[in-house]
Amino acid sequence: MRRQLSLLACIVCTLLLVACSVSSNDDDRSKLQDSWSLIWWRSSHTLPDEPITMRILNNRIDGKTPCGSYTGTLETNVSTLTIVSAGRLTLDSCPEELQAIEATFLNLLLKSKHWHVANDLLVFSSFEGELLHFAKIE
Q: pLDDT tens across 34-90, in order?
A: 999 999 999 988 998 889 999 999 889 999 998 888 888 988 887 888 887 777 766
Percent of the chain at pLDDT exceeding 90? 38
Between the alpha carbon of residue 31 and those of residues 58, 60, 78, 115, the distances in Å are 11, 14, 12, 11
Task: Report, as an integer, the average pLDDT of 26-40.
Answer: 83
Which CATH number is 29-136 given?
2.40.128.270
Quote the pTM value: 0.75
Given this model, what pLDDT does residue 92 score?
A: 62
Q: Following DSSP, what letter does each residue of 5-55 receive, concatenated?
A: HHHHHHHHHHHHHHHHHHHHHHHGGGGGSSEEEEEEESSSSPPPSSPPEEE
Half-sphere exposure at residue 90, Cβ-oriented, CA atoms within 13 angstroms: 10
Rounded-to-integer distance, Cα 138 and Cα 127, Å: 30
Could you list the beta-strand ranges (E) of 45-96.
Answer: 53-57, 60-65, 68-76, 81-91
Alpha-helical segments (H) within 28-137: 96-111
Task: Report, as an integer, the average pLDDT of 119-135.
Answer: 94
